Each structure stands twice: as structure tokens, then as C-alpha cells.
Structure 1
């Protein structure tokens, strides 16, 4: 007699049910879609706070990829990362992904601005009256972002060049991948170290010694947009609208960003 005869049918059904249960994807019935935000590193803490507010009452979970704007754009263009939303710290990288058809130009907004500053460790005695003072002996090293991928590094290079000091201080310069890394490294740097970074990246371990005039570099604007073809396009469009809300504006203002009209 077949071992799966009538006497063994209850056992057979039990085993079959077990196979179905164990072969089903983990969390199949409870998993929520993940809304992925790719954000310029200088906005990461703020974007996380915005994402937390935005996701309340929505049937989504949030994931954040925080890197320099250029690294994010390159990742998107190479399909290494596939976010639902992108925040860039300058127009150039946003334009590159628009040109590739990854983002629609009509969907791009510029919600915030920032300022560029020179900072030192909190206990440093370095004093600057202008960027020309970076040539002095009191300044031993200058940290900036990598101009090839980090917008704050590109702005720093523009300001130094416009002040006619780039050539004189070039040997003092070292670069960092993103502004958070620079802030952390600068806080632990030896005497004579300075860094050029966004004002919103200043921590309790640092102090600002010079606010760089905006006329010395391109305007610092952040650009935000949904990624075309996102499976969560409704949420992505809703996030763009959320950024215009008073709740989002207040949050950005409280974190030192300048909200654009």
C-alpha cells in the first residue's frame, strides 16, 4: 500500500502545511515597502528627522543612504543604488542624473541653502580675519571636501581661488569624502588645523572662526527630487510636498538650514 494512503493523510497534510509556511518569504504578511532616501551627507541628520515625521501614519518603512552628492549620483547612474528620492548639495550632480533620465527636471526643487565657514577645534587659538590668513604660519593644515565629489569641497576650492590663495595654501590641503568625516577629524586634529565646511556641520567640538563671503563661491543650494520610475512614486511626490509644509520648514530652520521661498 502507498505509504501516503488514507491512514497517513493527516500526517501528509501537516508536513505540506509546514513546507508552505517555511518556504514563504520572511515577514510576507507584515513587511511594509521601504522608501529609500539618498541624501547628501550634510543633510543626513535633518533628512532622517524629516523622514521620521513624514512616515508617521504611512504604511512604509524608511531607509537612508547618506554619502557625498557625487558618490550618490554615481551610484544611481551605475545602478549600484536605487533610491526613491535624491537630495543633492549642488546643482551639478542633480543635473547629471537628470541628463541620464533618472530624475525629471520638472520635479526638482531647491528647498534649502547653507553657508560655508572656516572652523577649528574648540580649544584652538587660531584667529582668522580673512582667507588670506590661511597662508600664515599659524595654520599648519587645511581640511576641505574632495572637490571632485563633495560639493562643500568644490565651494571651498572656489572661495580659495577667488581669494587668490589657492596656489599658496595648496600644500597644506587635505581632503575628506564628506562633511561629517571632516568635522569628526577636525575635532581631533592637532594645533594649527583648520577646516572649511558647511555651517550646519559645526559640532560642540568645533568653533567657527570665519564665515566665508557668499560672493566667493557659487550659491549653496540643495536640490531635491523623486526618482523617476520609483515603485513608491506616490510617496515620493508626497515627500516633495511635505518639504514645503510649515512642519518641515521649522525643522530645517531649527537645524541651521536656510529655507528658500
Structure 2
């Protein structure tokens, strides 16, 4: 009698674990620019609630570093960049299809300082003052915020002059951390990052740019979860995704 009961229990357990509702969720790897950390972290549970069959794994870093990962064969299903440069490279090298690329958000680059503003910075021209000894900037070769900042400084004929003062960050969030900890006199970050920091950072100026800060997203061509990846991109572009982006300070494209 005991053996019969045990056998019945084992059969029931096998049937339960093999039921559709208990199947292991398919992993979806989303490689997204560091400045999207908060917005996409908000999207993760919202998307999973709508698609319980998908387990979203977020991978945040600078857009250039993420592109290099994809180039070197690291798994990724969705790529979201903080500027067109790296997405264009992904298109040119057949990692994403040009027709799949969609711009989903805009941002602004700002010059920010610690709350006490020890170097009395109020504009780009103030960066030449002796009181300014350290300027945070994302590495222009890999960090879009750094690329935008360099372009603005070159346009103002300031970049070469200010280079000795520059402290380079591996992502825009690293520059933000420097500001929050008061380790630099000022730094270039996105408006959304400065807003996130609250009272720990003060915006002194919006940086004029030749090209606006835009965020493109696309499904990676060799995605192991193509259907889920397309659903995630649709979510980002849809009303709920846009609302979550706007709640974090991003603007519609």
C-alpha cells in the first residue's frame, strides 16, 4: 500500500513539473547602455509580468563595450545603444538588421557639479579656470556621453586645452559616481543621470549639441530567442515602455 501511494505521488510530481505552466522560462539577454539602467530595470518586471514565459537578463555597460561583447560572440538578444554610432556599426557588421533599428528615446547632455560646487563652475567656459582641476567625462571612444561631450568641447575649441584635467570614466554612470562622491569638480552626464542623483548633484548647464542624444534599439540577428526579443522591443516602443522611460526623465523620439 505504501509503495502504491509513493508511486502515485511520483507520477503526480512528474506530471506537474511537465505541465505548460511550470516549464522553465526562456532567457532573454538585453544588452543596454548604462544610462538606461533605471528605466530598463523598471521594464524588466513589467515585461515579465506580461510574458511569464520569458526570463529577462539585463546586461548594462557603455554602448561601445556592449558592441564589443556582441562582436566577440557574447550572447545577446536585444541591443539598446545610447547613440547611433554603435548601432550603425552593428548594422554595418551584420549583427543587427537595419530595418529592425528603431529610435525609442531622447536625452540631454548636461554639465553637472557636486552640490557645493567647490570650483564655482557655471558654464563650459568656466572649465578653463584654475579652480577647476578635474573634469569627469566618459571615454569618448566607447562611451556615447563622452563622445557627445568631446564633440561639444571640440566645437568650442576647448578639448585640447582641457585634456590634462580630464578624468575618464568607463561609463556615464561611473562619471556620475565620481560626482556623487565629490571626487571631481564637474562632469558631463545625461540629464536623466543627474536627476537620478537628486540632491547629490547639481546641473549648471545643458550642453549644446550638433546632434541630439538618441537611443536606438534592435534585435540581434543571431538571437537564440528571436520571438521573445521582438516582443521586448515592441514593449519598449509601446505605451507602457514609453511611460516607464518618461518616468525616468527620457523624452519621446
TM-score by length of 1: 0.83
Which of 185, 190, 197 in structure 2 is aligned with 1:193? 185
Find the aligned partners of 1:164 and 1:181 in 2 and give their Cα distance. Answer: 26
Q: Larger Rg: 1 or 2?
A: 1
| Counterpart secondary structure, 2:79 | strand
Q: In the TM superposition, what is the alpha-carbon distance from 1:31 to its structure 2 partner? A: 2.4
Residue pairs, 1:1-261, within 5 angstroms: 30-58=23-51, 59-79=53-73, 81-190=74-183, 193-202=185-194, 203-204=197-198, 205-215=200-210, 218-260=211-253
Find the aligned partners of 1:127 and 1:106 in 2 and give their Cα distance. Answer: 47
Give per-residue Cα distances to partners, 1:65-119, cap 9 Å, x unaligned: 101000100110110x211100011111111111221110100000111100111
| Counterpart secondary structure, 1:195 | strand
Q: In the TM superposition, what is the alpha-carbon distance from 1:125 to its structure 2 partner? A: 4.2
Contact 1:160–1:166 under 8 Å retained in 2: yes
| Counterpart secondary structure, 1:223 | strand
Find the aligned partners of 1:246 and 1:31 in 2 and give their Cα distance. Answer: 28
| Counterpart secondary structure, 1:259 | coil
Find the aligned partners of 1:103 and 1:240 in 2 and give their Cα distance. Answer: 13
Moved over 3 A (4+): 125-129
Q: Give the RMSD, CA atoms, in angstroms.
A: 2.0
Q: In the TM superposition, what is the alpha-carbon distance from 1:251 to its structure 2 partner? A: 1.2
Find the aligned partners of 1:241 and 1:188 in 2 and give their Cα distance. Answer: 38
Count how many residue pairs are aligned between Structure 1 and Structure 2. Answer: 232
Find the aligned partners of 1:119 and 1:249 in 2 and give their Cα distance. Answer: 26
Contact 2:121–2:186 under 8 Å retained in 1: no
Q: In the TM superposition, what is the alpha-carbon distance from 1:126 to its structure 2 partner? A: 4.0
- For structure 1, list consecutive stretches of 5 or more residues without a partner in the other structure: 1-9, 11-16, 22-28
| Counterpart secondary structure, 2:223 | coil
Contact 1:145–1:179 under 8 Å retained in 2: yes
TM-score by length of 2: 0.86
Contact 2:103–2:216 under 8 Å retained in 1: yes
| Counterpart secondary structure, 2:113 | strand
Contact 1:127–1:209 under 8 Å retained in 2: no
| Counterpart secondary structure, 1:56 | helix
Structure ranking higher in helix proportion = 2
Q: In the TM superposition, what is the alpha-carbon distance from 1:229 to its structure 2 partner? A: 2.9
